[in-house]
Every structure is written in C-alpha cells, then in structure tokens.
Chain A
C-alpha cells in the first residue's frame, strides 16, 4: 500500500483488504484459477464462489454462452456440485487463501435456501453468504423471488433466521425487479446485512441464419461492459433509497467493471465494494489490476488536492455530486 493510501473496506463486519471481489460464476470454487502461473489470490479482497444448491445440479444444455456487443450472454443454469460437496471438498482447500471467501447460494424454494444456509453456517470456513434471488437462467431459479419485495423478503428473512447472525447475509438483487430499491429495502428489513447488485440482465441472442436462439435455453443473462450504465443507475437508486430510509447497509456494486475507473464509478454511486465478473474471462488477473488501479486513482487525487481524505477509499463511497 503506497504512500498512506487506504483501500481496505468493511462489509457487514467482514474486513476486505481492498474493495475488489471476483463475482460468483466466473471463478468456480476458487480453485481453477490456481492453474495460472502468476496467480495472486491475495491481491483481491475476496472471491464469491459459484452459486450452490442443495443437490448437485446438471445445468442447462449447451450452447451456454455467446459473446454479444460489449457483453456476454450466458445460460449456465447453476451447474454446481451441491452444498455437501462444497463443504467437504472445497471449503477445506480455501482455508488461508489470503482473501475473503463469500459463498453464493440458490434454490427452488425457500426451504431449499434455508437448508443450504443452515448446513453452511454449521460447517463454517467462509466469511459471508450471498443469497442469489436473481438467477435468470433457471425456472424458479431464484429470479422469481427477487422481482417482488415481499417474496425477496421472505427468502432473505428465512435465510437470516437460519444463519442467525453467525455470518453476514448478502442479498443479490436482480435488475429485472420493477422497483429494485423497494426490493433492496425489503431485504434489509428482512435481515440482509448487505446488498449486492446487479445480477445479469435477462436477454436473448438470435442466429438469424438458423432462425433460432443462439443459447439452447433461449434466454440468458447479459453481463459485461454493455450493462454498466444500467448497473450504475441501480446502485445509485438503491443507495439513495437506503439513505432516505436512514439505513447504512453496505452495497456491493457490479456490472461491466473492467478498469479501476469503472470500479470508482460504482463506489461514487454508493458501493462499498465491487465485484468483477465477465472481464476475468479475458484477464483472469484483472481483479488485482483493478485493485492496484484504485490505489493509483487515490494517489492521483491526493496529489491534485493535497487533502488526506482523498487517500482513503471510504471517503468516496456514495460521494457522487448531483
């Protein structure tokens, strides 16, 4: 950490050495990246592991992913090893990996979320639980819960009760919600310790020659730079709604972050931390680059202003001037 720069933040009691997390779905269970020769897991604030359900899930048939203009449309369908294998095979390998481990859970019904959360909370070995109420790729795969404030609150309330304070609960919000601020507030009232947003934007790609959807599932979730303006607006809306309601629940912003400047935009909009997803596909180490780039932005600002507070990332959170 150069010249008094401080980029460490705290999300619901979890200390992150910097605000950059790798998003759920792009880093598997945190182990695949270890094949990289120059991998530095400690360079990012943490990893959010693949969405996990009660039983192992097969996922959707291929084609599961297609590049679109400025983005990627995917329909993996929550292929995962199930909560028991996560506990027995994965978590022990992640102990002492040098950054936070956040688990992401998904389910078909509230009971499934609760069982998964209970088993994980009992097992331990991680730092926080992100609840996916916004997966667009599975029928009843969560997004249905995240569209309306009342159903979102039901899931988050049940999971919070199951975890009963042992781990912070993060609700992952869908941009498909009609009123995302209302959903966010409902989740906070139901016990969410933090909110992460946005999940992918439902979308479609068409192969005109074959007159068919490109993805076998027809519909997918759009991610990447194409969705960044949508994500920034959602983060801002939720941040202002929480502020108005006098809640200081932290936000984790994501959607198309590629550079440190992108990350800073989310922080100014109101995010305490950010997640990077799609960009890791072309640069698996991009999280480290963004974290280092944030330090440089703070240093540059300090050099221009001479104000000490410009060296601390916390003074940028929600500091957008409107």
Chain B
C-alpha cells in the first residue's frame, strides 16, 4: 500500500494479526420497525454477533438471501407503508451496517439505517421471522480505553453507531454529551422502545436522555427546542467552555460534516475518533475498494482501507 515502509506494509496489508475472527451467522428478525421518512430499524436475534461486536464495528449484511421469503412484500406493485416499490433487481453485494443497539444477554442486535438504495430498500422489507445473512463483526471499533468525558457528535444517520457507543461508554462510567445535527427534528432517527411517534427533538433524543447522556440537537429546520442551523454551531458553543479540551470526541456523519468538525476539534486541541463510511466490496480487506486518504507517521499520505484499517480513525490521521 502506498508509500509505506515495508514493515508498516506488513501490518497494514498482509497481517490479519490483531483482527478479530469474522463469523458467518444467520440471524433472525425479531421486529421490523419503519421509522420516520426513509429510516428503518430491524431488531435481529444474532447471538454470536451480539456477544462480541463493539461500538464502531459493523456487520456486512447480505440483502439478497431471503429474497424469496420477502419477495411478496418487495414485489408488491403498490408502495407499502415504508414506501417500497417494485424491486427493480436483486442486490449483489453485502451492505456494511453498523450496530445501533446491542443486548448481549438476549443475543440481540438492532440496526438503524436509512433507505438510500436497493440494498437498504430490500433490507427494510425484512419482517419478523426472516433470516438475515450476517458476516461480522468487521473492522476496528472505537478505542474505549480513555477515561475523559465523551463528546459524541452525530450528523444524520451517524447517530446510529453513536447510540451504541453512548450506551457502552455510560456502562463504563464515563460521562457522555451528545451533539446531533439533522435536517429537521422529525427526521431525527431515534424511534425507540416501540414508541410509535416522535414529536420533535425532545422525544427524538429520548434514548440518549434516558440512558443518561446530556444532549443537544441542531436542526436546519429550526424547530422549537432545537438549535437552528448546523451541528457545527452547537460545537462552537461547546468549545467556548473552559473545560472543553478535557473531552474526547467521537464523531460520525456525512464526510463534509466530519471534515469541518475535525478541523474545529483539532484547532481546539480536543482529541477525537471518526467513524467513516465508504462503498465496500469484500469488507475483509482483500479488494481495496473502500479506501480513504490517511497520513502516515512520516507525514506522507496513503490510502487506508476503511473496512479493516478503520472504519474508526483518529481525526488527525484522516485527510478529508
């Protein structure tokens, strides 16, 4: 890879040492919940994955497997409640999806995703009892070894993996503050615990509040109770506090948002980790499709694989 010294190459490209074992598991959908707009939640019984996955790691889900069992639903010519239309074709590749909640005691994971294309559209048609073909856990999750108070910064659907992270950090006794940005409060994708309605951001951030995270929401639509504008505005206010640099930041969102947030954090001297997303092929480091530009120790840059070198990177490492 890139301009690396051979010793580093070995670590980066040819040594699965340090990687966890990747399991192939057939999970079973417990519950399929349409959320706001194009957002959807699947609760899946997948005890092997639930036992070992850590926040920031992802599952590579084959959205094609149970096509027969869901075909009636997907092929329905009349759009269903979640807006499904006639399926144009079958997805071929797996889709990398992070875990939103995990209950290892019950052997359950939940995924929260937005329908952005064919794969997620099919996935949202899975119903209770359907099998889900899962490869995982994949990638390096967040480094949770620190003890600083945590500042979680989410943009849009980036809230999904950060919700799992918040639960984990709180369980470890760390304080958690969440700053979230979204287009409008109703799009805030936190439909939780079977509550069927979300009326504004207060309910929208219900989970984060419920589990003890102090939260603030920025909304481009500027509904009451939200900070009108972008999440960068919230961060600006946050960074004005004297103790801001005592925090460790964890960010996930659109690339342009993470680039801006990273710049602000680095300038303020706040360390941080960013969860990246990229189109993937194999998900296990072999095909080199899902790369991002990163800095090496020698201040050169190279392409790193999001699937195995990430998806979590130090914000100082990423060339946005």
Contact = CB atoms under 8 A, between A and B. Distances in A.
Nearest to A58: B2
Contacts of B278: 62-63
Task: Identify whether the interface residues of B are mostly helix, strand, loop, or mixed.
Answer: loop
Interface residues of B, number: 46
Interface stretch (A97-105, A188-196, A275-283): A275-283
B10 A89 contact: yes
B4 A32 contact: no
Given A35-B21, A56-B4, A280 B288 contact: no
- Residue in B119, B291, B302 whose Cβ sees the most chain A Cβ within 10 Å: B291
Contacts of A27: 286
Given A37-B21, A37-B22, A65-B279, A28 B94 contact: no
A72 B23 CA distance: 24
Given A37-B22, A65-B287, A74 B281 contact: yes
Interface residues of A, number: 48
A2 interface: no
Contact of A28 (B92, B283, B286): B286
B284 A284 contact: yes
B290 interface: yes
Interface in B264-320: 278-293, 302-303, 308
A51 to B, nearest CB: 10
Contact of B22 (A31, A36, A80, A84): A36
Interface stretch (B12-20, B171-179, B198-206): B12-20
Contact of B286 (A32, A38, A74, A84): A32
B260 interface: no
Interface string B74-109: 000000000000000101111000000000000000
Nearest to B60: A282
A89 B282 contact: no
A85 B9 contact: yes
Nearest to A278: B92
B24 A38 contact: yes
Contacts of A50: 288
B36 interface: no
A59 B20 contact: no
A70 B89 contact: yes
Interface in A278-302: 278, 280-285
Nearest to A31: B14
A66 B135 CA distance: 20
A80 B3 CA distance: 10
B64 A282 contact: yes
Contacts of B279: 62-66
Output the residue of A32, A38, A59, A70 with the most chain B CB within 10 A.
Answer: A32
B10 A67 contact: no
A284 B308 CA distance: 15
B291 A59 contact: yes
Nearest to B301: A58
B303 A59 contact: yes
A224 interface: yes
A282 to B, nearest CB: 5
Contact of B14 (A35, A63, A72, A93): A93
A71 interface: yes
Contacts of B24: 36-38, 285
A215 B135 CA distance: 26
A79 B23 CA distance: 27
Nearest to B119: A67
A227 B199 CA distance: 49
A282 B93 contact: yes
B284 A33 contact: yes
A41 interface: no
B92 to A, nearest CB: 6
26 contacts: A26-B282, A26-B286, A28-B14, A32-B284, A34-B16, A35-B21, A35-B22, A35-B285, A36-B284, A37-B24, A38-B24, A50-B288, A56-B2, A62-B279, A64-B288, A65-B279, A65-B287, A66-B279, A67-B93, A69-B89, A72-B281, A89-B10, A280-B282, A281-B282, A282-B92, A282-B94
Q: Which 5 pairs across A and B sit closest by C-beta, in order of nearness?
A: A28-B286, A65-B289, A32-B286, A32-B285, A89-B10
Given A35-B284, A67-B91, 16 more contacts: A35-B16, A35-B19, A38-B24, A62-B291, A63-B279, A67-B93, A74-B287, A76-B288, A81-B14, A85-B6, A85-B10, A89-B9, A225-B92, A281-B282, A281-B283, A283-B62
Interface of A: 25-29, 31-38, 50, 56, 58-59, 61-67, 69-72, 74, 76, 79-81, 84-85, 88-90, 93, 224-225, 278, 280-285
